[in-house]
Structure 1
Amino acid sequence: MVFPDQGGQLTSFGSANGGEDYGSSTLWNSTIINSGINNGSLSQARLDDMAIRNVIGYYYAGMDEKVLPSVVGATDWGRNVRANHSKLIREHGAASLSLLKNTNGALPLNAPSSIAIFGAHAGPVIAGPGTGFTVTGVPDTYQGHLAGGSGSGATPFPYLVTPHDALLQRAIQDDSMIRWVMNDTYSDSTEWTVTGGTTGFGYGTSAAPSFENYVVDMEVCIVFLNAYSGEGGDRSELSNAEQDTLVTTIASNCNNTMVVINTVGARVLDAWIEHENVTAVVYGGLLGQNSGYSITDVLYGDVNPSGRLAYTIAKNESDYATGVCHTANCNFKEGVYIDYKYFDAYNITPRYEFGYGLSYTSFAYTNISIQQTASINGSHASGTITVGGREDLWNNVINVTATITNSGSVSGNEVAQLYVSFPDEAEQPIRQLRGFEKVSLDQKESTEVSFPLRRRDLSYWDVVAQEWAVANGTYNFTVGASSRDLRLAATLVINTE
């Protein structure tokens, strides 16, 4: 069913005949619809199709045969429908985090004697955990722990566990000393000196609060950063000067500085990523109500990180195909060369490529195999047109397999990725993701991953014929841990004649 966003429908019959099924009562009132039927602007068959699509979900779910629960008021908290959602949110949050840097095995933590945490993102916002509803955009950074979206993506948490909450619990459990400055630009005017002494670890938490004082002699320093965006307003920056200064200030005084980032979209890291004292970086999206637990689970190794970047992190903002647009009308001219496809086409070295992510263990790739499981008849798909295109586009025609082995010392999850390169005739990007499989392996365990490919996966859009086409020639198949860490390769010649 096609459902437009608020204000997205501009015409009555152009929208209906273009495929829209649910729309504006102003543009689709009874008078207008009847008039359209009578003058031929809208067919009865199309109207019937729209009606069916509006109710098909109701019948598909068997709602016409089931006893529905009673309706409760918006402020009635007596009914708990969350079941084990809290547990799942914590698990999925941790699973989504990507470990981008881990110098000399700085992570996972092992009951450190002292921890200092920094940044507004480490703790709660002054009033929360809700952010209020807005469709007019939000600031580029959030002055509290960012764990949910805004606008139509707003997340009304029943509670929010911040990194400070979770780390404090862990510090109590491990008998660690913990300090915090939960602000991005904190400064303290108090002069605090001891003749012949220091403001370091020996003074515990009685040292005058400041970035510089709270890092002295700390075993671990963790800086928390975020980047925010919401409905009605895009981000105006891909990095933030205040937050980057915070990282460099801490790293210049603490030789084991770790950075945790939760962001809406890509965040450039090069102001500090190569700093010798930045030993680890954990990177992710917005993790929900148990965000602090999810982050701490990864930091302490209760969960082996397995998140993989869903976009490229560039070294410089100018490396992206399109920069930040500050006008109402933006010219996006990159065509199909989006994200990693653009970086590949122009041989640009990213900071962290699409699909990248480290683990606390290691994985080996062996034994790639390709089998054509069905013939590909004709260069263009010719099946009956159905939902999503011609029916034969969805026929499985090739299967690629590879063996993944956990070659490290702890159990972990690997995300094997399949990329396909087309013959030159197709004029396609250098490689395109066509499958990924996540596998959980104990140490020294192996398994075979399989990537079934449909005709659509091997097709390109023929603008002349206005059909999906398969090019004749040699296709290259590569399997690896990211778009640039490709471990296995094989080829297959496809002939559609």
Structure 2
Amino acid sequence: MYSLLFYSLLSAAAGVAIDKRTDVPAGYVAAPYYPAPHGGWVSDWSESYRKASLLVQNMTLAEKTNLTAGTGIFMGRCVGNTGSALRVGIPQLCLQDGPLGVRNTDHNTAFPAGITVGATWDKTLMRARGVAIGEEFRGKGINVHLGPSVGPLGRKPRGGRNWEGFGADPVLQAFGGALTVEGVQSVGVIATIKHLIANEQEQYRMYSLVQPGISSNLDDRTLHELYLWPFAEGVRSGVGSVMIAYNAVNGSACSQNSYLINNILKDELGFQGFVMSDWLAQVSGVSSTLAGLDMSMPGDIHTVPLATGSSYWMYEYSRSILNGSIPVDRLNDAVTRILASYLKLGQDRNYPRPNFDSNTQDAEGPLYPGALISPSGIVNEFVDVQANHAKTAKEVARDAITLLKNVNNSLPLSKNASLKIFGTDAEKTSDGINSCADQGCNKGTLGMGWGSGSARYPYLNSPIDGFKTRGANYTFYNTDSFPSNSNPAATDTAVVFVNADAGENYITVDGNPGDRTNANLNLWHNGDKLIKDVAAKYSNVVVVVHTVGQVLLEEWIDLPSVQAVLFAHLPGQEAGDSLMEVLYGDVSPSGHLPYTIPTSESNYPESVGLRGFEIGQPQDTFTEGLYIDYRHFNKAGIKPRYAFGHGLSYTTFSFSSPTITPVTKLTAVPPTRPAKGSTPSYPTTIPPASEAYWPDNFDRIWRYLYSWLDKTDADNAAKDASSSTKYPYPAGYSNVQKAGPAAGGAQGGNPALFDTAYDISVTITNTGSRSGKAVAQLYLQYPTGIAFDTPIIQLRDFAKTDELAAGKTQTVKMRLTRKDMSVWDVVKQNWIVPNVSGDYGVWIGESSDKLGWRCGTAAAKCASATSPV
């Protein structure tokens, strides 16, 4: 979501054309794909579509268009508020951020961020957090949760919003996203997986009067095997909504990219819910409708939302139906998709109404703050939705903590250790934990990044709070400069707290406009210098890092005094006690890195750097293809500082007795997809103009977006339908429904893709003296000699053990699906197993660079082996 304030600086008429463009490089094409596929053909959704279609058949034109768009910025309690159809029992729908908790409210939980969840490598916690988030959104009366985020994928290490997702790998993102969707929707809240697709940097992402949004140019195979993978799993989980991104893909804005929405999402992936725009990402009316967009948020035109109530849809949608510019069945399908999601999640049965206001913390205030004159009333009821969710939040924060270095078992700390604590990141800022809107500053303990993906803290349990609770023997120096009076003693342990922040583009923090442009991959607040200064005076130094992602450690990581390093990621409200449980050894650290930590930014290919300003449309071409993060490091033979998946423990584990069992016999091409089921019947007759007339004696609110037309406008639009001048439909347009691509057939794609090809198990034994949890990671290596270039290894599954006492053993199970073993064939437009009889290497170990077992699919046997990287 984008800033609402940014646009107050823009003052131009709606619909101003952006003429200057830059050509997309040759070979990157956004091919047209029409019409928008009708929903309802998947059996899991058939009943909700049946009910929805009965409602749609009884709705007027204006009632239908009223549900497809927001009523305008600041024109309701929630960040997004659709119109209603009260005559048929459908209220306004409330849409609200964000991925780590309810944004801009009170009595909520500030959960750990997505990147922290990814660092747990724990599927159970991923889903449990989703359930807790869903319960809070439902408790606040929110219909649609604007999360989880699986895009950006983390291609660019400096990308501002990487921390909202689960890590720089499509499979880790896929499990995190899909399990969050399942958890959120298990309590009746519609989840929204976002942002479709390839929105990998914050700067220049948006269309404006100055230039079009940045174009992410990527080939079809890279799209499928990396960036689309987590979206496919979210759709397979039954997600009710998908949010498109701000940027363009291959030159076509995501909001009107028919190849992405109609072809990939709705047809190939079989998505049955509704597609919404990101806030102010819609850049056209009819074009976006035909391309498959179902809901416009927040409803305003992207260039002038704070003007006079201009919209591409609402009343313009009604006009476009009456004059024949948009086929009637396109509107009916969009409304049916919205209502089917609403009904499938049971929101027609005693679902609470919103009881908070994201615009104010006061109990009473204007009902429509964006209006010139607004009625007032009770807007906040201060409903406490926290329940016992702090427990889940704490477990996630704790089990994500990643031990990178621990010389001579410096950790855990002894109960009576003499501690000197340095760095402002150790304590809450005196300005107040919510003093900066949307956490748009870096002061005190860093628990989350900034932007629409943030939430207000109900409280912040800081590391200093944690030390106090422990009764620790400590002295705290609340400064990011080394103090001259710390009086080092030989028995002291110095604990240094440092951080690195990032966020969304509408807020600039310390010169960083979302992306880390000013900070690069360095620590903030001179963190590197603080660590070096402390290490020069103390012989036992522990470094704790709160960070949005990768940071460079080279200035100090090998200093003899730096004995231990912990990444606590972004822990949310439970930063303190979760850290204490690890520092003092109540539990062993069990987090693993969800990205690679480099030795230098030069480790990365130039193509993943941030793109700067370009006259015309900025072009961001993904020339590295499949080779991002560890895939790139392995191909280039670059040894990182810490590999993807790395994480130490206070105990040790052995992996033994792996097994691989064939389950489904594979073929080069998947079995033929199932045919689409039936869909609701949509009329093609243009409704009478009277269905869009303003109601008599209606009291209009200035800037509120309505779907009605003045009688003269509606009648003239109806006359235009019989005119010889017709709307110039885009190239390739057709209104004949397609059978669908071969790779489709169900939610997520051809259901055969998700058949288990092999079951894999491995026995894990705690060989140390302390309890702990281990993570088994499974990577696939394709056979040599195939016709496709593939990364050396690719993550395909993982499993985390229970807490194992010393000497205890647990066998964990993983699997490989047909899709896991396939590649996307851009010619056949299908998933292909490139060598059915070939010997695929199934590597198992503790991290991407510590893989001690290889199972071969040809012989279905496993043996100890040297890691392939």
Query: TM-score, normalization: structure 2?
Result: 0.51
Kept after mapping to 1: 8 A contact 2:499/2:523: no
Give the distance between the partners of 1:397 and 1:340, measured in 2 at CA. Answer: 25
2:535 corresponds, among 230, 233, 251, to 251
Kept after mapping to 2: 8 A contact 1:321/1:339: no
Deviation at 1:146, TM superposition (A): 0.8
Identity of aligned residues (%): 35
Shift of the 395–180 alpha-carbon distance from structure 1 to 2, 3 Å rule, reads same
User: Which residue pairs with 2:858 in the alignment?
Assistant: 493
Deviation at 1:91, TM superposition (A): 1.7
Deviation readout 1:390-426 (Å, 9 max, x if unpaired): 2221222221211111111121111100000113333
Matched, 1:18 2:301: no
Deviation at 1:465, TM superposition (A): 1.5
Deviation readout 1:207-230 (Å, 9 max, x if unpaired): xxx256343435210000110101
Partner of 2:839: helix, strand, or coil?
Answer: strand
2:753 corresponds, among 377, 385, 393, to 393
Q: Which one-letter code corresponds to 1:428 in the other structure?
A: T
Kept after mapping to 2: 8 A contact 1:436/1:451: yes
Partner of 2:843: helix, strand, or coil?
Answer: strand
Give the distance between the partners of 1:113 and 1:451, measured in 2 at CA. Answer: 41
Matched, 1:464 2:827: yes
Matched, 1:304 2:664: no
Shift of the 151–278 alpha-carbon distance from structure 1 to 2, 3 Å rule, reads same
Question: For structure 1, which segment, 316-325 or 444-453, has the greater mean C-alpha deviation from structure 2 after superposition?
Answer: 316-325
Q: Which one-letter code corresponds to 1:104 in the other structure?
A: N
Deviation at 1:65, TM superposition (A): 2.4
1:35 corresponds, among 320, 323, 333, to 320
User: Which residue pairs with 2:504 in the alignment?
Assistant: 231
Kept after mapping to 2: 8 A contact 1:216/1:253: no
Aligned residue pairs total 462
Give the distance between the partners of 1:43 and 1:381, measured in 2 at CA. Answer: 35
Partner of 2:857: helix, strand, or coil?
Answer: strand
Partner of 1:388: helix, strand, or coil?
Answer: coil
Kept after mapping to 1: 8 A contact 2:581/2:587: yes
User: Which residue pairs with 1:90 in the alignment?
Assistant: 394
Summarize the alignment of residues 270-289 of structure 1 with structure 2, pairs less than 5 Å apart. 270-289=554-573
Matched, 1:475 2:840: yes
Deviation at 1:454, TM superposition (A): 1.8
Shift of the 434–476 alpha-carbon distance from structure 1 to 2, 3 Å rule, reads same
User: Which residue pairs with 2:418 in the alignment?
Assistant: 114
Partner of 1:83: helix, strand, or coil?
Answer: coil
Summarize the alignment of residues 400-479 of structure 1 with structure 2, pairs less than 5 Å apart. 400-423=760-783, 424-440=786-802, 441-472=804-835, 473-479=838-844
Long gaps (5+) in structure 2: 1-240, 242-274, 300-310, 364-379, 506-513, 675-743, 860-869
Shift of the 433–375 alpha-carbon distance from structure 1 to 2, 3 Å rule, reads same
Q: Which one-letter code corresponds to 1:435 in the other structure?
A: D
User: Which residue pairs with 1:3 in the alignment?
Assistant: 276
Give the distance between the partners of 2:659 and 2:755, measured in 1 at CA. Answer: 20
2:433 corresponds, among 126, 129, 135, to 129
User: Which residue pairs with 1:337 in the alignment?
Assistant: 627
Q: Which one-letter code corresponds to 1:477 in the other structure?
A: V
Kept after mapping to 1: 8 A contact 2:426/2:497: yes
1:351 corresponds, among 637, 641, 645, to 641
Deviation at 1:481, TM superposition (A): 0.4
Shift of the 4–493 alpha-carbon distance from structure 1 to 2, 3 Å rule, reads farther
Kept after mapping to 2: 8 A contact 1:147/1:289: yes
Give the distance between the partners of 1:387 and 1:45, measured in 2 at CA. Answer: 22
Kept after mapping to 1: 8 A contact 2:667/2:833: no
Higher strand share: 1
Summarize the alignment of residues 135-146 of structure 1 with structure 2, pairs less than 5 Å apart. 142-146=442-446
Kept after mapping to 2: 8 A contact 1:116/1:214: no
Partner of 1:144: helix, strand, or coil?
Answer: coil
User: Which residue pairs with 2:551 in the alignment?
Assistant: 267
Give the distance between the partners of 1:70 and 1:290, measured in 2 at CA. Answer: 27
Q: Which one-letter code corresponds to 1:375 in the other structure?
A: K
Give the distance between the partners of 2:400 and 2:577, measured in 1 at CA. Answer: 13
Deviation at 1:252, TM superposition (A): 1.1
Deviation at 1:164, TM superposition (A): 1.4
User: Which residue pairs with 1:379 in the alignment?
Assistant: 669
Q: Which one-letter code corresponds to 1:299 in the other structure?
A: L
2:605 corresponds, among 307, 318, 321, to 321
Deviation at 1:293, TM superposition (A): 1.3
Query: TM-score, normalization: structure 1?
Result: 0.87
Partner of 1:68: helix, strand, or coil?
Answer: coil
Shift of the 8–70 alpha-carbon distance from structure 1 to 2, 3 Å rule, reads closer
User: Which residue pairs with 2:682 in the alignment?
Assistant: none
Kept after mapping to 1: 8 A contact 2:355/2:381: no
Give the distance between the partners of 1:276 and 1:154, measured in 2 at CA. Answer: 38
User: Which residue pairs with 1:190 in the alignment?
Assistant: none
Deviation readout 1:37-67 (Å, 9 max, x if unpaired): 864x644444333223223332223222236
Long gaps (5+) in structure 1: 187-209
Give the distance between the partners of 1:220 and 1:375, measured in 2 at CA. Answer: 58
Kept after mapping to 1: 8 A contact 2:843/2:855: yes
Shift of the 43–372 alpha-carbon distance from structure 1 to 2, 3 Å rule, reads farther
Give the distance between the partners of 1:444 and 1:53, measured in 2 at CA. Answer: 53
Kept after mapping to 2: 8 A contact 1:381/1:468: no
Matched, 1:182 2:463: no
Give the distance between the partners of 1:258 and 1:381, measured in 2 at CA. Answer: 55
User: Which residue pairs with 1:201 in the alignment?
Assistant: none
Q: Which one-letter code corresponds to 1:240 in the other structure?
A: L
Give the distance between the partners of 1:265 and 1:381, measured in 2 at CA. Answer: 41
User: Whose relative contact order is higher, 1 or 2, with alpha carbons under 8 Å and at least 6 apart?
Assistant: 2
Shift of the 381–249 alpha-carbon distance from structure 1 to 2, 3 Å rule, reads farther
Deviation at 1:380, TM superposition (A): 4.8
Question: For structure 1, which segment, 343-352 or 68-77, has the greater mean C-alpha deviation from structure 2 after superposition?
Answer: 68-77
